[in-house]
A and B are shown apart, each in its own frame.
Chain A
Amino acid sequence: MAEEFNTDSMLSVYLYENGQLLEKLEGIILEKQDESFDDSDINEIFRIMHTIKGSSGMMMYENIAKVSHKLEDVFYYLRESHPDDVPHEELVEKVLAVSDFITEEIDKIKDGEDPDGDESELLDDLDEFLGRLKGEIKTQGIRLPKPNKSEEPTQFYITPVAEDDSHFYRIVIHYRNDTQMSNIRAYSATYALKEIAEDLLFTPDDILSNEASADVILNEGFHMLLQTKTCKDDVYDLIDSSEAEQITLDEITAEDYGRELMEFGREDGDVPPGAPPIVINLDDDPQAAKDDKKETPSPGDYVVKKKAAGKGKTLAKNQTKQQTIISVNVEKMDALMDLIGELVIAEAVVLQNPDLKVPGLELSNFQKASTQLSKITTELQEVIMSMRMMPLTATFQKMKRIVFDASRKLGKDIELEIIGENTEVDKNIIEHISDPLMHLVRNSVDHGIEENVADRIALGKSAKGKITLMAKNEGGKVFISVKDDGKGLSKEKLYKKALQNGLIDNKPISDFQEKEIFQFITLPGFSTKEQVTELSGRGVGMDVVVKNIQDIGGRLDIESVEGSGSEMTLMIPLTLAIINGIVVQVGNSFFVIETASIKEFVRLTEESMIQEPSGEEYIVIRGECYSFIRLNERYNLSESSTKVDDGIVVVLDHEGRQVCILIDKLLQEQEIVVKPIPSYIKKVKGLSGCTQLGDGSIALILDIGGLIQNEERR
Chain B
Amino acid sequence: MAEEVKDEVMEEDAQKGKFMTFQTGKEYFGISISYVNEIIAMQPITAIPEVDEYVKGLINLRGKIIPVIDVRVRFKMEPKEYTDRTCIIVIDVKSTTVGLIVEKIAEVDTIVDDDIVPPPALGHKDKERNKYVYGLARTGDTVKLLLDPEKLIKQEVLEVLEEIQEKEES
A589 to B44, CA, bound (A): 11
Is A699 in contact with B49, judged by CB distance below 8 angstroms? no
- B59 part of interface (Cβ distance < 8 Å): yes
Complex: chain B residue closest to A587, CB-CB: B47
- Enumerate A628-644 residues with CB–CB distance to B below 8 Å: 634-637
- B117 part of interface (Cβ distance < 8 Å): no
B120 to chain A, nearest CB (A): 31
A337's partner among B44, B60, B63, B163 (CB-CB below 8 A) is: B63
Is A692 in contact with B65, judged by CB distance below 8 angstroms? yes
- A697 part of interface (Cβ distance < 8 Å): yes
Say yes or no: A681-B67 contact (C-beta < 8 A), given A696-B60, A698-B59.
yes
Say yes or no: A680-B49 contact (C-beta < 8 A), given A697-B60, A698-B58, A698-B59.
no
Complex: chain B residue closest to A673, CB-CB: B63
* B residues near A339, Cβ cutoff 8 Å: 62-63
- A333 part of interface (Cβ distance < 8 Å): no
- A675 part of interface (Cβ distance < 8 Å): yes
- Enumerate A679-713 residues with CB–CB distance to B below 8 Å: 679-682, 684-685, 687, 690, 692, 696-700
- A598 part of interface (Cβ distance < 8 Å): no
Is A338 in contact with B46, judged by CB distance below 8 angstroms? no
Chain A, 594-607, contact with B by CB distance < 8 Å: what is the 0/1 string? 00000000000000
* A residues near B49, Cβ cutoff 8 Å: 634-637, 684, 687
* B residues near A678, Cβ cutoff 8 Å: 58, 65-67, 96-97
- B5 part of interface (Cβ distance < 8 Å): no
Complex: chain B residue closest to A692, CB-CB: B60
- B150 part of interface (Cβ distance < 8 Å): no
Interface centre among A590, A687, A690, A698 (most CB of B within 10 A): A698
Interface centre among A339, A340, A678 (most CB of B within 10 A): A678
B63's partner among A341, A684, A699 (CB-CB below 8 A) is: A341
In the complex, the number of residue pairs spanning A and B with C-beta atoms less than 8 Å apart equals: 72
Is B63 in contact with A697, judged by CB distance below 8 angstroms? no
A191 to B46, CA, bound (A): 73
Is A690 in contact with B50, judged by CB distance below 8 angstroms? no
Is B60 in contact with A681, judged by CB distance below 8 angstroms? no
A687 to B49, CA, bound (A): 9
- B64 part of interface (Cβ distance < 8 Å): yes
A273 to B8, CA, bound (A): 55
A687 to B97, CA, bound (A): 21
- B153 part of interface (Cβ distance < 8 Å): yes
Say yes or no: A681-B96 contact (C-beta < 8 A), given A342-B62, A692-B63.
no
- A620 part of interface (Cβ distance < 8 Å): no
Is B63 in contact with A680, judged by CB distance below 8 angstroms? no
- B145 part of interface (Cβ distance < 8 Å): no
Is A680 in contact with B60, judged by CB distance below 8 angstroms? no
A516 to B76, CA, bound (A): 47
Interface centre among B59, B60, B156 (most CB of A within 10 A): B60
Is B67 in contact with A699, judged by CB distance below 8 angstroms? no
A337 to B64, CA, bound (A): 10
Say yes or no: A681-B55 contact (C-beta < 8 A), given A697-B44, A698-B46, A699-B46.
yes
- Enumerate B148-170 residues with CB–CB distance to A below 8 Å: 153, 156, 160, 163-164
Is B46 in contact with A690, judged by CB distance below 8 angstroms? yes
Is B46 in contact with A700, judged by CB distance below 8 angstroms? yes
Chain A, 431-473, contact with B by CB distance < 8 Å: what is the 0/1 string? 0000000000000000000000000000000000000000000
A685 to B44, CA, bound (A): 24
Complex: chain A residue closest to B62, CB-CB: A342
A678 to B64, CA, bound (A): 10
Chain B, 22-41, contact with A by CB distance < 8 Å: what is the 0/1 string? 00000000000000000000
Is A589 in contact with B62, judged by CB distance below 8 angstroms? no
Is A698 in contact with B60, judged by CB distance below 8 angstroms? yes
Is A700 in contact with B48, judged by CB distance below 8 angstroms? yes
A640 to chain B, nearest CB (A): 12
- B146 part of interface (Cβ distance < 8 Å): no
Chain B, 45-83, contact with A by CB distance < 8 Å: what is the 0/1 string? 011111100010011101111110000000000000000
A341 to B62, CA, bound (A): 7
* B residues near A690, Cβ cutoff 8 Å: 46, 58, 65
Is B46 in contact with A677, judged by CB distance below 8 angstroms? no
Complex: chain B residue closest to A338, CB-CB: B63
* B residues near A637, Cβ cutoff 8 Å: 47, 49
Give the total of B residues in contact with A, Cβ under 8 Å: 25
Interface centre among A338, A339, A681 (most CB of B within 10 A): A681
A682 to chain B, nearest CB (A): 5
B46's partner among A340, A636, A679, A697 (CB-CB below 8 A) is: A697
- Enumerate B61-118 residues with CB–CB distance to A below 8 Å: 62-67, 96-98
Complex: chain B residue closest to A635, CB-CB: B49
Complex: chain A residue closest to B163, CB-CB: A682
A165 to B32, CA, bound (A): 92
Complex: chain B residue closest to A681, CB-CB: B67
Say yes or no: A682-B46 contact (C-beta < 8 A), given A675-B65, A690-B65.
no
Chain A, 324-362, contact with B by CB distance < 8 Å: what is the 0/1 string? 000000000000011111100000000000000000000
Complex: chain B residue closest to A684, CB-CB: B50
Is A680 in contact with B156, judged by CB distance below 8 angstroms? yes
Chain A, 634-670, contact with B by CB distance < 8 Å: what is the 0/1 string? 1111000000000000000000000000000000000
Complex: chain B residue closest to A344, CB-CB: B63
B155 to chain A, nearest CB (A): 12
Complex: chain B residue closest to A676, CB-CB: B65
A361 to chain B, nearest CB (A): 28
A667 to B64, CA, bound (A): 23
* A residues near B96, Cβ cutoff 8 Å: 678-680
A562 to B46, CA, bound (A): 51
A697 to B63, CA, bound (A): 10
Say yes or no: A680-B46 contact (C-beta < 8 A), given A690-B65, A698-B58.
no
B32 to chain A, nearest CB (A): 20
A699 to B60, CA, bound (A): 10
Say yes or no: A681-B65 contact (C-beta < 8 A), given A692-B60, A697-B60, A698-B59.
no
Complex: chain B residue closest to A346, CB-CB: B62
* A residues near B65, Cβ cutoff 8 Å: 675, 677-678, 690, 692, 698
Is A589 in contact with B67, judged by CB distance below 8 angstroms? no
Is A680 in contact with B44, judged by CB distance below 8 angstroms? no
* A residues near B163, Cβ cutoff 8 Å: 682
Complex: chain B residue closest to A679, CB-CB: B96
Complex: chain B residue closest to A697, CB-CB: B44
Complex: chain B residue closest to A341, CB-CB: B63
A191 to B81, CA, bound (A): 88
Is A677 in contact with B44, judged by CB distance below 8 angstroms? no
A380 to chain B, nearest CB (A): 14
B72 to chain A, nearest CB (A): 19
A339 to B61, CA, bound (A): 11
* A residues near B44, Cβ cutoff 8 Å: 697
A186 to B59, CA, bound (A): 66
Is A681 in contact with B48, judged by CB distance below 8 angstroms? yes
Instruction: Provide 17 A-B residue pairs closer than 8 Å at the C-beta atoms, listed in order of the A residue.
Output: A338-B62, A339-B63, A341-B62, A636-B49, A637-B49, A677-B65, A678-B65, A678-B66, A678-B67, A682-B160, A684-B49, A685-B50, A690-B58, A692-B63, A697-B44, A697-B60, A698-B65
Q: Given A634-B49, A690-B65, list of 7 further CB < 8 A pairs?
A: A678-B58, A682-B160, A684-B50, A690-B46, A696-B60, A698-B65, A700-B48
B residues near A (Cβ < 8 Å) are 44, 46-51, 55, 58-60, 62-67, 96-98, 153, 156, 160, 163-164
The 6 A-B pairs of least Cβ separation, nearest first, read A338-B63, A635-B49, A698-B46, A341-B63, A342-B62, A682-B160
